[in-house]
Amino acid sequence: MALDYDLNEEQQILRESVRKFAEAEIKPVARELDEKEQFSVPLTRKMAEMGLFGMFVSPDHEGQGLDYVSYIIAVEEIARVDGSQAATVAAGNSLGIGPLHYYGSEAQKRRYLPKLCRGEGLWGFGLTEPNAGSDAGGSKTKAVLDGNEWVINGSKIFITNAANPLSLGVTVQAITGKRDDGRPEYSCILVEHGTRGFQAKEMHGKYMWRASNTAELYFEDCRVPKDNLLGKRGDGFHQMLATLDGGRLSIGAMGLGCAQGAFEAGLRYAQERVQFGKPLCKFQANAFKLADMATEIELARNLMYKACWLRDRKRPFGREAAMAKLYCSEVAHRVSNHAVQLHGGYGLMKEYDVERYLRDAKLLEIGEGTSEVQRIVISRHIGC
């Protein structure tokens, strides 16, 4: 099969339209929202009007019916301008809509997907706990079946899109019993906001993604109908791993977009800033730095798009997703760090976007599995 690196016409139009939107609507307010740690309902609704939620969902449930490459392009272009808004889109699709789309019953899909795809609401994915981060198997949240209801007790932390005015509910992974081998049985359960015993609390004081909504979740004898089980009982761990595979692609896309935005800012400054009688980019040390940045971004984009290409063709993509997430996130950190260095002292001031790119890049090495966890995943794929 011949290799084809060209995007189709629809994908090219999508990139151009999302880039124009990000430049016109997000960029003018990104710095202020970051400073105020303010989640923007108006921006989220505008992104919904652009069709940025439910991009890979069938039109039968009011999604866009696009391929995964198109979705990743959209996340990349938003992240090129602002990581916070990209996080809202990425988590809204991969972590919120994704599990419902892939594992929900037809009744659950009809109930939730149209609203989520229209951007009338957001949905969270409750996995991480205070003592269960990389060790997702260390979850303590439990759900006990009592008649026709699940009774949930426990807590979650660092959950995106779970405590803002648009939040409709969360998918909660909980221990629902024991397997035959004695290990915990994990299942995923849907919990709507307003359910008695369920509380979501906003988290503030973040280093990065300050305009993205992050929450702590508390469940105290929280009762939901038995039919709120997502998929089959005991499939929760499998659903979580598959969801993280897709989530890694969106985090990788955020790294790619962050790196692209930081590179462009660094290049522009190096072309305009004059020292010792010539632009910074004319000094070999800076020119080589920019050359390395451009090369790493090109490599990252090729790896990311290949992983999405595999997914779109329903071929195994777990290894490539881990590689793409690892490489794109670490490239984002290196490129944004170089961009700050090129700006000198100005790069440390909030007046310049590169300081925000550097802050936002750090979470990409932690969220959806740390860089260390990605290396574990990759090493297992290669037989170690």
Q: Tell me the C-alpha distance between 106 and 100, whole Å.
A: 10
Question: For residue 5, how many other CB atoms are within 10 A of its CB?
Answer: 7
pTM (2 d.p.): 0.95
Q: What does the pLDDT look like over 220-265, one tens digit per residue?
A: 999 999 999 999 999 998 998 889 888 899 999 999 999 999 999 9
Find the mean pLDDT for residues 307-335: 96
Q: What does the pLDDT look like over 114-146, one tens digit per residue?
A: 999 999 999 999 999 999 887 777 889 999 999
pLDDT band at 1 (very low <50, low <70, confident <90, very high): very low
Instruction: Determine which one of 106, 351, 368, 372 is catalytic.
Output: 368
User: 3-state DSSP call for residue 287?
Assistant: helix
CB 253 within 8 A of CB 75: yes
In this predicted structure, the answer to whether residue 24 has a pLDDT above a threshold of 70 is: yes
In this predicted structure, the answer to whether residue 267 has a pLDDT above a threshold of 80 is: yes
Which amino acid, 291?
Answer: A
Which of 277-303 are b and which e, b meaning 16 or more Cβ less than 10 Å from the residue's Cβ?
Answer: eeebbeeeebeebbeebeebbeebbeb
Would you say the C-alpha torsion 240, 122, 362, 301 has a positive or negative sign? Answer: positive
Q: What does the pLDDT look like over 344-359, one tens digit per residue?
A: 999 999 999 999 999 9
Give strand pairing partners of 192. Answer: 169
Residue 330 known to be catalytic: no
pLDDT band at 294 (very low <50, low <70, confident <90, very high): very high
Q: Tell me the C-alpha distance between 82 and 120, whole Å.
A: 22
Question: For residue 49, how many other CB atoms are within 10 A of its CB?
Answer: 12
Show the domains of the chain with their CATH numbers: 9-122 (1.10.540.10), 124-234 (2.40.110.10), 238-381 (1.20.140.10)
In this predicted structure, the answer to whether residue 283 has a pLDDT above a threshold of 70 is: yes
